[in-house]
Amino acid sequence: MKQAFQSPSGILLALILAIAFIGPLLPLADPLAMDVAARFGGPSAAHPLGQDEYGRDLLSRLVHALRSAILISGGAAMISAVIGVSVGVVAGYVRGFSEALSMRVMDVILCFPPLLLAMLAATLYGAGPSTLVPVLALVFVPSFTRVAHASVMTVRGQDYVDATRLMGASATRIIFRTILPNIVGPLFVQFSFVVVMSVILESGLSFLGLGVLPPQPSLGMMIGTARSTFAQEPWLLLAPCLSLIVLVLVLNAFCDHLRQLFDPRRESGA
Amino acid sequence: MSRNRENMTVTQSAEHPLLQVQGLTVGFRRGGQWNDVVRDVGFSVSGGETLAIVGESGSGKSVTSMALMQLLPRDNSRISGQALFRGIDLLQLDERQMERIRGDRISMIFQEPMTSLNPVMTIGAQIAESILTHRRIGKAEARAEALAMMDRVRIPSAKSRYDDFPHQFSGGMRQRVMIAAALACQPDLLIADEPTTALDVTIQAQVLDLIKELQAESGMGVIFITHDMGVVAEVSDRTLVMYHGDVIESGTTEQIFRRPAKAYTSALLSAVPRLGSMTGNAVPTPYPVFDIASGKLREPGPRPNTLREGPPYLLQVSDLSKRFAIQSKLLKRTIARVHAVEGVSFTLRQGETLSIVGESGCGKSTTGKLITGLHDRDEGRVVLAGRELGAIPAVERAHDIQMIFQDPYASLNPRLRIGEAITEPLRIHGKASATEQREIAASLLTRVGLQPEMAGRYPHEFSGGQRQRICVARALVMKPKVIVADEAVSALDVTMKTQVVNLMMDLQQEMGLGFVFISHDMAVVERISHRIAVMYLGEIVEIGPRAAIFENPRHPYTRRLLGAVPVPDPARRHQRGAAVVTELRSPVRPPDYRRPVRRYLEISDDHFVLDSGEDWQ
């Protein structure tokens, strides 16, 4: 774990996380406070990055948007990891009917394009984070199930699992104490990929107005509304775009780094 | 054939050897540092001559051959020295020039016939490809030559198998294909890197014979890399012994076998299992231990027999059967069954070692898994320490039977420190406090010849032999009555093998353990067993006391198995009869197959042989 953050991408990610979570505690302007008189105001001491079309502080909005992007996608990834891994591990270990059933259900979920599924849910249950998180979680469950299932299949064939069975260990003990520790590598990598995907999907939905509800700031929504005033004030569009690009690139680089760390050929061991 | 070769050796080696290597040093970069793994190696090979390079894993024998062929990654390896091949220094050639030599003038065959063929190309195409790469001839011509090559390596019905894919061939046949591809361009020098290590003994004997015959036909030089002194005695004219990257001894094979100059060579030779070395010994006897420091061979003292006659039996197995269904893809109907184990019966007494021998696919490992309860049996009864196997709860069964697996790398959980791995059963059963666990781990580690301080390390920090001792320690922690050892020493180097076998025999002496020792290695089996069961296609074809099986084998398959074991004595190499080209038959049967009624004939007291009728006439 230590090694994971001892890399350029790890340091950058730590920095972004720090900004997103400590940012709201800093003496920044209220991201929701409007000041229509000073709309499109340029950078000043009170508003380092300027003001948007309602005169709200851009820097403060970016920090809050970053925070909600990370919370929503991180939370969704967490939920789908818990569900997906449990289903995958049970399917891979128990086999038989439960395996066939759960893997086919996952195939059905995979058939829906993620964006369409999310739009459907948002229309049915209304937009907002309380719909967004479960929908994102549902969309990514199959990816975890498949990775967990495949890894369990490899590990359960190893002699040390048979050896543990011969010691008289119960199925639960074998799953939690023998198999799970040996498949965390690929699962961890999958988790970081899913976070990246959720960030992209979340901003896409917010861009369409199906994600985070206004006036709460979100990167996708900020990009969406700034389109109309692009000619007048290009920076309002560029700033959230750049933030999104940096976030995704850093997360991607971090994923690659993690994947290398867990590569079995590295003989990572401990 | 042999006279022919001697003539050639004399005439050619005197004038100009085919390959002359001097001062070959190979280094690898690890981190920022250069590590020499092969130091100052020198040898020469003439046409028609076979040079064996012997050593245990890590001795640098394979690296030497890879360096000669320039197959090592150029960016993190460093090669110096000289390797004159017909007057050209191989080490000075660039990649383009080397490509013209590789496969054409010098060919190589590798250990793993399963992975060294391209799975998506037909056998014939792969042989033809190696011809087409080096010669400007038409496709039809290449096909004809490839067919001729397949005939030369004695692949039966070559014409009809030309368009088969590698997975349709058995391991031995694949190695023949590899040899055909390697020899297709009639190279002057063949480098064979452990070509028979992955093969069964009867198949190994056939492949060794084949290489010798082809060498006699074409007069090529052969460099034979192996760890098996038995194979060395069988094939090589001269031998080079490597240890940790240095050549420690070289000379004619006869010299090395008769008067080894270095203590390590003697140790290696003393570790070679010799069939027949136990004749006249009533009880299993540990290997003599070679003390490298004093250079003396320490023979084990006489031993009391650990076997206790008569009941209570540790294991009573009767009519055990296991079949695996092969299902059709679409409708999941059973289209055939693998009859892995068929009507197997035996008993194991206290302090007894029963060996189950046979070649791959004979059902010996499945039998092991059935009696430990890892597989469910289809038919038959297993009575373990007086109780029906199915009636014993898993938790209690752990006190009765434990297992040691073949692959010491796969049988230890990579995420557990070895101290934890050894005491894991105690935690499962909630038997001991943390301090007690530490004490038990420490004492068991000492018992299997490791240091107690090692308890905190992870499995990947240990060698194969050490890991296998750890597995032995783990099997012992529950104080079981029976231990099933499934090919437990097959993956180990010879010196490690003798140590683990001796350890197992000492433990049997101390604790009165019963062993079911599953192995394909007849020489180790002869050392360790009280009784032996020979399995073929899922059935026991012969079972009896060790002396009876080795001195009076009755079943044709037992005889074939014994006859195929290499004799580690160069003087006796031509005594073995030519092996017939055979393949192991498969135990796959149609769904309506009924096993014919089998009869066992009692040859002498406790020695039974299967009356298999016409199959073996």
Q: Which of B235-239, B299-303, B479-483 has the lowest mean pLDDT?
A: B299-303
CA–CA dist B140, B538 (Å, integer) = 44
> B413–A269: do the CB atoms touch at under 8 Å?
no
A211-264 residue pLDDT tens: 888 888 889 989 988 888 888 888 888 999 999 999 999 998 888 888 777 765
pLDDT on residue B118: 87
Coil vs helix vs strand at B547 = helix
**Complex-level ipTM:** 0.73
pLDDT at B309 over 80: no
Domain coordinates of chain A in residue numbers?
65-262
On whether the CB atoms of residues A199 and A74 are closer than 8 A, the answer is no
Residue B5: its pLDDT value, please? 41
- Quote the pLDDT of residue B577: 54
- pLDDT tier at B4 (50, 70, 90 boundaries)? very low
At B1, the pLDDT band (50, 70, 90 cuts) reads very low
Q: Is the pLDDT of residue B374 over 70?
A: yes
Supply the pLDDT for residue B19: 92
Percent of chain B with pLDDT over 90: 28
- The answer to whether B581 faces chain A, any CB pair under 8 Å, is no
pLDDT of residue A267: 46
Give the C-alpha separation, A126 to B598, whole Å. 74
pLDDT tens digit string along B113-132?
A: 667 888 888 989 999 988 88
Task: Collect all residues with Cβ–Cβ distance below 8 Å to A225 and sequence separation of at least 6.
Answer: A52, A53
CA–CA min distance B349, chain A (Å): 21
Q: Assign B99 a pLDDT band (cuts: 50, 70, 90).
A: confident
Residue B426: pLDDT over 60? yes
Flag whether pLDDT at A188 surpasses 60: yes
Residue B49, pLDDT score? 92
Interface contact B411-A173, CB threshold 8 A: no
Confidence of residue B532 (pLDDT cuts 50, 70, 90): very high
Which CATH architecture fits A65-262?
Orthogonal Bundle (1.10)
Q: Which one is predicted more confidently, B186 or B575?
A: B186
- Burial of B216-241, coded b for 16+ CB within 10 Å and e otherwise, reads eeebbbbbbbbbbbbbbbbbbbbbbb
Which one of A97, A158, A160 would you mutate to disrupt binding with B, by most B Cβ within 10 Å of its Cβ? A160
The answer on pLDDT for B357 being more than 90 is: yes
Q: Catalogue the E-assigned strands of A139-226.
A: none
Q: Do B394 and A182 touch (CB under 8 A)?
A: no
Is residue A133 within 8 A of residue A202, CB to CB? The reply is no
- The answer, for B410 touching chain A at a CB cutoff of 8 Å, is yes
Q: Give me the mean pLDDT over the B540-567 stretch.
A: 89
Give the pLDDT band of residue B252 (cuts 50, 70, 90). very high
When pLDDT is averaged across residues A65-90 and rounded to a whole number, the result is: 93
Distance CA B190, CA B194 (A): 12
| Identity of the residue numbered B424 | E
Q: Do A181 and B471 touch (CB under 8 A)?
A: no
The tokens describing A155, both together, are 């590990």
* Greater pLDDT, B174 or A38: B174
**Does residue B582 register a pLDDT over 90?**
no
Q: What is the pLDDT of residue B578?
A: 53
Give pLDDT, residue B26.
92
Strand order of the β-sheet with B353-357 is B401-404, B482-486, B514-519, B353-357, B531-536, B539-545, B607-610, B600-604
Chain B CB contacts of A178 under 8 Å are: 413
Chain A residues with CB-CB distance to B370 below 8 A = none
Instruction: Please state, rounded to an integer, the average pLDDT across all residues of chain B.
Output: 85
Q: How many residues are there in chain A?
A: 270
The b-or-e profile of B12-23 (16+ CB within 10 A means b, else e) is: bbeeebbbbbee
Q: What is the pTM of this model?
A: 0.79
User: What is the structure's pLDDT at B14?
Assistant: 44
**Does residue B415 surpass a pLDDT of 80?**
yes
Distance from CA of B215 to the nearest CA of A (A): 39
The percent of residues in chain A predicted with pLDDT above 90, rounded, is: 29
Q: Is the pLDDT of residue A192 over 60?
A: yes
